[in-house]
Amino acid sequence: MPLPSLANSSFLAAALLAWYPRHRRDLPWRLTRDPYPIWLSEVILQQTRVAQGLPYYLDFVSSYPTVQNLAAAPEQEVMRHWQGLGYYSRARNMHHTAQQVVREFGGQFPDTYAGLLKLRGVGPYTAAAIASFAFNEAVAVLDGNVFRVLARIFGLHSDIAAPSSRKEFQALADQHIPHDEPAEFNQAIMEFGAIQCTPVKPDCLFCPLQSQCYAFQHGLVALLPVKAKAKATRTRYFHYFVLRHGEQVYLRRRTEKDIWQGLYDFALAETDSPTLPESEVLRHIEALGGELDLSRVAEAPAAFRHVLSHQKVEAQFHPVWLAQPLPPSTLRDTGLQAYSAAEIEELPKAVLISNYLR
């Protein structure tokens, strides 16, 4: 579909810059030009709503006031602060990036878009956000909100989930960013997408761009942006063996390239079935060298469900009392270790595990 003519290419900037001061939310990362807290907020807010991310941002800023503090923190402690936010690779990348900034850049964030892209885990969006908010570089941000606003106003029908569309949208956004106020424009267009031109029920009635908006004028608001359907969700069946001896419980750190890498959980068998027959439970415990404490009454398994973006985990937790500690060979081969309740409290864990323990 051809683009509508851009007779006045600054109409978008003018409208957004007039709209923004009257509607913006007061958010702490907007009060600074320091690239470190700006970067923290951007990492935390990826795939996370502001209301959910805000307490994490405040916690990170107060626990690690400088990039040096974050770089020097043990990874396990950082993961613990991140617990509950999901997408844990972001926390690991964030920690590594802090170390990279200290090691390779003397504790100073690069002050250009191109320089910021050299940081681990910093992609075009985050680099553009930091470059404009902290250093006033005129490079347009492109997040889900911006894609939506541009698709609707300019009637773009390209699939926003396709990597090939990025170039088209980026060129359009770069064409409209005012060089004297890039930070304000980027903030404004993202905020406009977040609270006015929302995915469902956008506030078109009171929109300052109504008369220039292609989607509104052509009755296409509900159809734009075009986004290909996400991959179907897959269901996984986890069977956890909560092995206990005395006051101690066995957990291990997840090292596989899979969900929750770096977090702690129990001995696990993944199968194609939501339930595991008792004979199978016993077989797994035996394979771990576990000896059942027959003086304890066997507890029924507990079922929990956890939904992630592309997968659903149906988990069964099987409590097991052991007569003896697990043999050293099992600890070596599986990474399982015995922890007290207080120690478990301090370990970084997926929400599913915390919910069960609670």
Question: Is residue 320 within 8 Å of 292, Cβ to Cβ?
Answer: yes
- Which residue's CB is nearer to ligand SF4, number 206 or number 342? 206
Distance CA(175)–CA(139), nearest Å, equals 10
Residue type, 108: Q
- Tokens linked to 283: 């077989």
Q: Minimal CA–CA distance to 142: which of 119, 173, 178?
A: 173
Which position has the token pair 């699939």? Answer: 159
Q: How far is the CB of 214 from ligand SF4 (least distance, A)?
A: 8
Q: How far is the CB of 139 from ligand SF4 (least distance, A)?
A: 23
Q: How far is the CB of 22 from ligand SF4 (least distance, A)?
A: 15
Residue type, 48: T
Distance CA(336)–CA(288), nearest Å, equals 10
Which position has the token pair 């907007």? Answer: 30
Q: Is there a catalytic annotation at residue 42?
A: yes
- Which residue's CB is nearer to ligand SF4, number 186 or number 196? 196
Distance CA(309)–CA(259), nearest Å, equals 11
Q: How far is the CB of 158 from ligand SF4 (least distance, A)?
A: 17
- Which residue's CB is nearer to ligand SF4, number 202 or number 262? 202
Q: Which residues contact 150 (CB under 8 A, 6 or more apart)?
A: 156, 169, 172, 173
DSSP state of 328: H
- Which residue's CB is nearer to ligand SF4, number 213 or number 288? 213
Binding site for ligand SF4 (CB under 6 A): 152-153, 196-197, 202-204, 207, 209-210, 213, 215-216, 221
Q: Which residues are catalytic?
A: 42
